[in-house]
Amino acid sequence: MLSPTELLNAALQQHQAGQLLEAERLYEAVLLDQPDQANVLYLLGLANHQRGRLEAATMWYLRAIAVNPEYADAHNNLGVLFVQQGNLQQATVHYRAALRANPNNAHAHANLGVILQQLYQFEAAIAHHQTAIQLDPHLAVAHTNLGHTLKELGQLDAAIVHYQTSRQLMPTNPDSYRDLGDALLDQGRVREALDLYNQAISLAPNQVELLSSRIRALLISGRLQEGFTEYDRWRLANAPHPRMFSQPVWDGCFLNGASILLYVEPGAGFGDCIQFIRYASLVATLGGRVQIECPLPLVRLFQTLACVETVTATGNPLPPFAVQASLLSLPRILGTTLETIPNQVPYFSADKLAAQTLPSLPDSLSGKPQGSLKVGLVWGGNVAHSHDRDRSCPFAAFQPFLDLAGIEFYSLQQGHHQTELSHPNVMDLSGYLQDFADTATVIQQLDLVITVDTAVAHLAGALEKPVWILLSFAADWRWLMARSNSPWYPTARLFRQPQRRAWGEVCQQVAIALHEFKERYSRQNSFC
């Protein structure tokens, strides 16, 4: 019969060999004789953790801590578990406990730094990442996370140094190539970024995030044909609930009067739909009788398209059709380049919109007193969007231009960010906006729309309304790089952050531009 020491040695050998179940059996055998062995309790937690058995791992880590409250590694790993469960508060408690027990625990410093970054405590996060690196210069994850924090602060040069170090320490980790590539792309170094993405993809050909980064680099640099081709392939391959039709996918050929269904995929953004519905007219010129299926909030808006026969809300019975295509596939099918973007606006009928909803608008929008400039505002997007934190602007940042004389401001904001509205000069129109047709009707009565990157930006551009779009530092691909105008919307003007979260600087620029816009508006109206 093996002694507890022999059992433990055997368990460690099995654990190191990746035989986790056998290791657990041997650890438990040790505990039958020595139930208060904190290191064995911890190792049992670790084995369960590695097998994804989080509840069991939590139990064993807690038992190890009960025996030895100063067990730093147990506290650290328990913190990792709580992060995996989304409980940042408890994770912070255990990371700090780990550091009290062992201030030289590099992993605990690195892990606590990640949480502090997520809580926007960037300076504290940097301090912990730097300490982790001082304790263990070869701890790649600390370099990676320090790079992330510096990138958040707009310190791209410094971030790139740590991403490069991380890549050197983890030459087979595809994420290290992607992190460096993303930072270089933010600097406009597209060729270098693409090279890194290609290297990463060679290591992990099916990793969705890597393919997504490469696609963004192609599109944002204007290589639309390549980008849309890869985007289409990637999107359809990774669709969680792909649409299945017996009718064939349209290949772009002349339709000769055949009926074609253009449908919106599950999960597609409203902005994407409004941007790409412009292709419906091209499909019609190729002989197609166009049928549209889209989410209900878009139905009445899309019914104003002259080229469309029917518009059906998603989930309702469809009319007969011969071929079909995803709305998001049309740029690829029609071979879109920067030079061939269909940018004829407006492509929604103002008359049809006015006939639908104009009577319900507030009286202040029914006329235009001389010298009164009417401006619509949107400062926030959908909170469920993965990049909402970056692309949404705090309403308070609009303050530099909200008190300008001679301007009437109207809030088109809906959703969670609407609660930020707090200014007497801004009329809240959210109660009038039941769908995008309502929003379009309101926009028709305005002189200008100022918005962050949301569906309203696309809608205003599609209506040929002057629209100023406030963009985050790492803007979406469709706005390309370093441009103040858009090939998609001739009436759009782009205001870009010079660095991450620099909304104050953007809004100061808007304030200056708005003053000039108002002066021109006043001069024009004075001659009427």
Quick one: tokens of 183? 């930072």
Report the SS3 class of residue 469: strand
The last residue of one of the domains, among 297, 315, 342, is 342
Does residue 493 lie within any of the structural domains?
yes
Count CB atoms within 10 A of the CB of residue 483. 14
Do residue 394 and residue 468 come from a single domain? yes
- The predicted structure's pLDDT at residue 236: 78
The last residue of one of the domains, among 342, 373, 400, is 342
- Category of 378 on φ-ψ map: left (φ > 0), alpha (ψ -120 to 50) or beta: beta
Instruction: Report cis status (omega within 30 of 0) of the bond before 346.
Output: yes
Give the confidence band of 356 by pLDDT, cuts at 50, 70, 90. low
Give the confidence band of 499 by pLDDT, cuts at 50, 70, 90. confident
Query: What is the tens place of the pLDDT at every residue in 191-202?
Result: 999 999 999 999
Q: How far apart are CA 470 and CA 510, in angstroms?
A: 9
Kindly report which listed range (23-32, 67-76, 396-405) carries the lowest average pLDDT score: 23-32
- CA-angle at 393, arms to 149 and 193, nearest 5°: 45
Do residue 148 and residue 13 come from a single domain? yes
The closest alpha carbon to 268, from 234, 294, 230, belongs to 294
Do residue 225 and residue 141 come from a single domain? yes
Query: What is the tens place of the pLDDT at every residue in 470-491?
Result: 999 989 999 999 999 999 999 9
Do residue 337 and residue 363 come from a single domain? no
Does residue 517 lie within any of the structural domains?
yes
Question: Torsion over CA of 458, 462, 466 and 470, rounded to 10 degrees?
Answer: 10
Do residue 267 and residue 184 come from a single domain? no
Reported in sequence order, the residue ranges of 264-406 that DSSP labels E, i.e. its strands, are: 289-294, 308-313, 323-326, 373-378
Does residue 453 lie within any of the structural domains?
yes
Does residue 508 lie within any of the structural domains?
yes
Do residue 210 and residue 308 come from a single domain? no
Read off the CATH number of the domain in which 175 is found: 1.25.40.10
- The predicted structure's pLDDT at residue 526: 62
The last residue of one of the domains, among 307, 342, 377, is 342
Does residue 430 lie within any of the structural domains?
yes
Report the SS3 class of residue 289: strand
Do residue 313 and residue 402 come from a single domain? no
Query: What is the tens place of the pLDDT at every residue in 331-352?
Result: 999 999 999 999 999 999 877 7
Give the confidence band of 250 by pLDDT, cuts at 50, 70, 90. very high
47 within 8 A of 24, measured Cβ to Cβ: yes
Do residue 446 and residue 486 come from a single domain? yes
Do residue 314 and residue 459 come from a single domain? no
Per the structure, the count of domains in the chain is 3
Query: What is the tens place of the pLDDT at every residue in 278-322?
Result: 999 999 999 999 999 999 999 999 999 999 999 999 999 999 999
Range ranked top by mean pLDDT from 238-247, 357-366, 369-378, 397-406 = 397-406
**Mean pLDDT across the stretch 355-362?**
61
341 within 8 A of 349, measured Cβ to Cβ: no
Q: How far apart are CA 327 and CA 464, in angstroms?
A: 21
Does residue 350 lie within any of the structural domains?
no
The closest alpha carbon to 32, from 54, 59, 1, belongs to 1
Report the SS3 class of residue 262: strand
Quick one: tokens of 281? 């007219």
The closest alpha carbon to 291, from 315, 266, 265, 313, belongs to 313
Please give the mean pLDDT across all residues of the chain.
92
319 within 8 A of 260, measured Cβ to Cβ: no
Does residue 254 lie within any of the structural domains?
no
Read off the CATH number of the domain in which 509 is found: 3.40.50.2000
Determine the structural domain holding residue 381 and report its residue range: 359-526
Do residue 381 and residue 332 come from a single domain? no
Do residue 215 and residue 314 come from a single domain? no
Does residue 277 lie within any of the structural domains?
yes
Kindly report which listed range (40-49, 319-328, 517-526) carries the lowest average pLDDT score: 517-526
> Measured in Å, how far apart are the chain's first and last C-alpha atoms?
104
Do residue 55 and residue 183 come from a single domain? yes
